[in-house]
Structure formats: C-alpha cells, structure tokens
Chain A
Amino acid sequence: MTLWAIYWTFFKFGLLCFGGGYMLVPLLSAGLVGTSPGAVLTPEAFANLISIAQVTPGPVGINTATYVGFTQQGVFGAILGTLGIVTPALGLVILAVKLLKKYEKSVPVQGFLAGMRPASFGLVLSAAVIFAELSVFRTAIPWGKFWNILNGTGDGIGGFGVNLGCALIAIITVLVLFKTKFSFVAWLLICALFGVFFCR
C-alpha cells in the first residue's frame, strides 16, 4: 500500500467505526485480512495484532491502525494510518457538539440512531465470530459446506473443528466478566497462561 492508500483506507474506517474499536474488526477483516489480492495481513498476523493491541496501553483502534500502517510503510505508514482514522472524528465531534442538542429529536437524527445502534450491535457480535474463527474454531466456519449437508449434497466439513481449550476459555470469560468486576486485562493475561498449556 502507498502512504496515501494507507491514509485513505483508515480515513474510511474512521468514518464507519460506530460504537468503538471492535467495529474495526469486521471492517479490517473485510478489507485487509485474508489471502485475496487486496489483503495485506494474514489471518495469523491479524490474530497476533489484536492480542497485542488489547494488552498494551492506548486505544485498541489506534494501536491497530498504527500496527497495520507500520507493517506497510514503516514509521510514516504508522503515522498516516493513525492520522487517517482520527481525521473524520475531528470534524464530526465538533459538529455534533454544536448541532446534536438542537436536532436531537429530529427525524434524521432519531432515524440515524435507530439504524446505527442495532447495526453496530450486530457487527460487534460478528467481531466475536471472527475472533472465534481465529481461536475456538480450527478454520473459518464453512457455511457453504453446512448448507450442502442440509441439501443432501454434502461432502464433509473439511478441517473444521473446535479447539476445546479455547472454547472453554471463551465460555468462562463470558461468565467471569459479565458476573464479576474482575479486571479484563488481568483476565486476558490469565487466558494467555492457560493458552500456553491448553490451546496449542
């Protein structure tokens, strides 16, 4: 990617990233991750990146933009990726401070919120599926093969399977973080330790 392409790609992500950093995950995985010609990160590199971004200080979205930019064009790529993702917000936050109160009850603003909130909910959940395909499941979920099995034209599920250690971690994490005030960063470090033994 050229420097300009890095800036422009992350500018678009900054414009679409409703509801925080996890929204970046579906955007990145649709745009930059994989083995297609436009992709610049392998799924494995993407998984490493997200783990690192989550347990180092700083906003996860900025960490991600910096890392991807760096892998493409070194320090300048890192700077441009980061600037790209924050540029739209610089204008939009100021605009919202000036206008949001006045037009809060208007049809466009109410309609925007009515569509944006459930969409970001669905896409944040899809981030969980994407992460599960990088840990809990051994391959991407083969939806097409499942469909063929239902059709009666199935030829098995390929290498698809579940990593039991990872599945256990995911389930226990939901229980711990939803029911207790346990610090999730400390919890993720426990997950790393558990993973050394049970997720190989």
Chain B
Amino acid sequence: MNSAISHYSEIIASRRNWILFFGYVKITGVVIGGGYAIIAAAQEEFAHRRKWLSEDDILEMITVTQTVPGILACNSAIYIGWRINKFAGALCALFGAILPSLIIIVAIAAAIGAMSHFIDNEYVQGAFRGVIAGIVGLVIVTALKMRKKALVGAFGRLIAIGCLIGMCVFKVNPAWLIVASIALGIVKVAFKYAEKRP
C-alpha cells in the first residue's frame, strides 16, 4: 500500500459518507465544463488534498470510467465512493454529483418557460447559435484528442467511419451501431488470438 495514503479507515463510516457527498456537491456545483474538468477537481480533492487515493487508484479510476458506459463525472464519483466506503460511499458520492445539476437545471428550465419571448428574441438566438457553433469546434477537438487510442489500425478506422456515416447519412439508430461495433471487435480479436496459437 502506498504510504502517502492517509488512513481514512480511522474516520467513522458515516462521516466518510458526508465528506464524499459534500465533496462532490462542492465540485459539481461549481465546476463548469463537464466530465474531464470534474474528474480533475475530484482528483485534487480526494487524492491530493485528503490523500484518500493513490496515483494507482487514479489511473485505475480513469481506465474504469472510460470503459464503463455512463456519465464520466458520475462514474468517477461511483469509483471514489466505492473505494472509500463500498456501496454506501458510492451512493453518497453519486447523489452529491447529481444534486447541484438537479437544482440548477430545474431552476433554469422553469425560468425558460416563463421567458420564452426572451429566448425567441433574434439576438438571444444568435448567442445560442454562436455557442452551438463553438461546441462544434469543441467536439471536433475532443475527438482529435482521443484519435490515437480510438483509431487503431484499419479496423478501427473502418468502424469509426462506418458509425459516422451510418449515424449521419443513413440515420441508423446509434444503439445498433454500438452493439454491432462491439460484436465485430470481439470477432476480430478472437480471430487474431486464434491465429497466434499454433
């Protein structure tokens, strides 16, 4: 065990749950920018400041959150909560992660209903369109940053292009594209594995 880890086991379980809950409320209530920004903040809070997690834990957390489906920030909350206090810890961290969004977005959604004439204003629509155009760029940058890990060999490129065209041009349900890609991946790896064996 890493000696840098503080002994959170000395803190009673119910107090650990509260720390997890409020730790995540604090992070997701303030940090704008979604998944990766929230994971970085959680790493700062639970690994660097409280020293509850080692560097190895953080690496494992990143692998797990990217393998399992779901919202990245919530997956990281479930991972950290589980490490610190099993299922109760996972639940507390997860509820902490979703509570600020629930409150903030419900307030905004309720306000939008009341000010629909403001939203429909052409200047406001221009601002929204500007943000969406910025998000187009942001998503492309996100994809560029994951390309090395995602596009391994001709197989990876073929799957990626297939999913892009299937989704955009032929409007195939993305659920089927994901399931089919995973099935093809398993077949491909199984063949490679069979070839290697004499």
Are B79 and A97 in contact (CB-based, < 8 A)?
A: yes
Contact with B along A133-177 (1 / 0, CB 8 A): 011100001010000000000000000000101110111111011
- Chain A residue nearest to B182 (CB atoms) is A115
CA gap between A116 and B179 in the complex, in Å: 8
Residues of A within 8 A of B110 (CB): 70
- B188 sits at the interface (CB 8 A): yes
Q: How far is the CB of B187 from chain A (nearest CB, A)?
A: 7
Q: Does B186 contact A (CB under 8 A)?
A: yes
Question: Nearest Cβ in chain B — how far from A45, in angstroms?
Answer: 9
Interface contact B182-A116, CB-CB below 8 Å: yes
A134 and B94 alpha carbons, distance in the complex (Å): 32
Q: Does B114 contact A (CB under 8 A)?
A: no
B147 at the interface (CB under 8 A from A): yes
Q: How large is the interface on B (under 10, 10 to 19, 20 to 34, 35 or more residues)?
A: 35 or more
Q: Which of B148-192 contact A (CB under 8 A)?
A: 149-152, 155-164, 167-169, 171, 173-175, 177-178, 181-190
Instruction: Tell me if A119 and B163 are in contact (CB < 8 A).
Output: yes
Q: Closest residue to A134 on the B side, CB-wise?
A: B132
In the complex the two chains form, what is the Cα distance from A85 to B30 in whole Å? 21
**B138 adjacent to A114 (CB under 8 Å):** no
Q: Measured between C-beta atoms, what is the minimum distance from A160 to chain B in Å?
A: 15
A71, CB-defined interface residue at 8 Å = yes
Does A78 contact B106, Cβ atoms closer than 8 Å?
Answer: yes
* B12 contacts A by Cβ under 8 Å: no
Other A-B pairs beyond A30-B167, A30-B171, A30-B173, 12, CB < 8 Å: A55-B32, A57-B28, A58-B100, A60-B34, A86-B94, A90-B94, A111-B182, A112-B185, A116-B185, A119-B181, A129-B168, A178-B141
14 pairs of residues in contact across A and B, judged by CB atoms under 8 Å: A48-B128, A79-B102, A86-B98, A89-B74, A93-B64, A93-B82, A111-B187, A112-B182, A115-B188, A123-B177, A163-B129, A170-B134, A176-B137, A200-B123
